Amino acid sequence: MAALIVEQLLILDATELAAMLAKRTITSVSLVERLLEQISLHDKPRNLRAVLSKFAPRDTLIKAASQLDDERAQGRLRGPLHGIPILIKDAINTHPSLGMPTTLIKKGLIILAKTNLNEFCNWKGFNSVNGFSVVGGQTNSAYINGGLKDGEAVMGRSPPGSSTGSAVGVSAGYSPIALGTETDESSVKVDGVWTLSHRFDAIGGMAKSVTDLAIITELLHTDQVRSKLPTGGYLSSLSKSFEGLKVGFLDPAIWHLPESLCPQIPSVVQELNEAYEQAIEKVEASGARVEYPVPLPSCDKLTMPDGDMTAMEVVILREYSRNIGQCLGILQDCNVRTAAELIAWNEEHAEIEMPFDNANQQRLIQACKERPTAERYEEARRHMKKVVIEDGFEPLLSGKGLDPIAVPQDSNIASMATASGYPIATMPLGVLKDYGRPFGLAIMARAGREDILFTFMSAFEATFPKRVIPTSLLQPI
């Protein structure tokens, strides 16, 4: 049985690996062993630091994989991804012994490792660095040689966060799929996650193919949600055709990252805009009805009328300190149980917990000391609804009949997804010529219409070039 080579690990998706398992070309045991080797060879030696640590001892993982191989030999499959390893963001609480039953394990997946992240899902301090945690260090992109440099902007050469390790882990061939969490809206609401706001936070999948993403998203849904899906689930939406879609594209002159987050290098801006314009033309030429540009209020409109803070910040600050206590309360072997105790612990161990000159925990302190009133909270919710839904998406979705909405991923569109509660997804467009950073296209649909996103993504995948792999991992260290 031949071992998978590095290029295969970078390219093959979970569905393709499942087919190899079905043909006995590989086993789950050999796959787990090969992926652990990939992590060992590349994660720390290349300073990627996507994985915090082995989630379970090697022998535990091999035992789980062997059991799944035995079940396969007996003709008993738990699901379409039976025997496939997956990475999970460390914001998701799962017992290290793997003894706690989870949806994924019941469906036959193998939780291979936990991944690095922005500490406290990017709500520890102001101006925090994407992909850094005290436990895991600095995660770096597999695409960018040399990684993040000191003093660079929040975006740019850095791998965005907060689910940094999950994204880097999939791209680096540590696993074909991973789970991340996002305050900037996702589709699956679950318990057991470090939560900023129950109104915003969710789990989402990261994958190398639309088919994989459709499968993992459906697996994560509750039975109640699955019962409302189209016959055949999300896979039935993978038409691979733009026919019947009316897509609204936002203006990149308005929807781009601010200079404070990502340097607006003229050559890079031109490259991004040209790729976006070409994507619009290709989508229209491939059968979609296109309207471009379509108007949408900018994220600046989310600022509260008194100019104090954004509506999202008000909502998070109202909920966050309480959520911290709830999350800490379910952890085992944890000496702190409240937000106040957490802040005190960080101050007492500042040389470890806040190691940089600009490191701070002001967001945690703010959550404890500046909790908005219930009236302020409701005012913020009303403001979000008016700006994002009533004056924003609904005139496009209902008034113009557009669905989905597309926009450069290099923008603050995720904040609009959060405020609206609408699902958002991204597809790869290319990598920058300057320093190799990947960029993509974000798409949004109305609440509960993930099927439209999957239809668009399947057509995109069938029409556009394949995702560029990080070729540096093919070279010797």
Hey, what domains does the chain have and what are their CATH numbers? Answer: 6-235 (3.90.1300.10), 246-302+383-474 (3.40.190), 311-375 (no CATH)
Residue 52 CA to residue 111 CA, distance in Å, equals 13
Give yes or no for residue 154 having a pLDDT over 70.
no
Q: How many CB atoms lie within 10 A of CB 351?
A: 7
Question: 3-state SS of the chain: helix, strand, coil percent to 5?
Answer: 40, 15, 45
Give yes or no for residue 189 having a pLDDT over 80.
no
The tokens for 144 are 């960018």
Give yes or no for residue 281 having a pLDDT over 90.
yes
Give yes or no for residue 178 having a pLDDT over 90.
yes
pLDDT, position 97: 44
Residue 346 CA to residue 340 CA, distance in Å, equals 10
More confident residue, 51 or 127: 51
pLDDT tier at 194, thresholds 50, 70, 90: low
Q: Count the residues in the chain.
A: 477
CA atoms within 13 A on the CB side of 434: 14
Express as a percent the part of the chain with pLDDT over 90. 67
pLDDT, position 435: 87
The tokens for 155 are 């975006």
Residue 267 CA to residue 277 CA, distance in Å, equals 15
Give yes or no for residue 429 having a pLDDT over 50.
yes
For the residues 186-198, what does the mean pLDDT come to?
A: 60
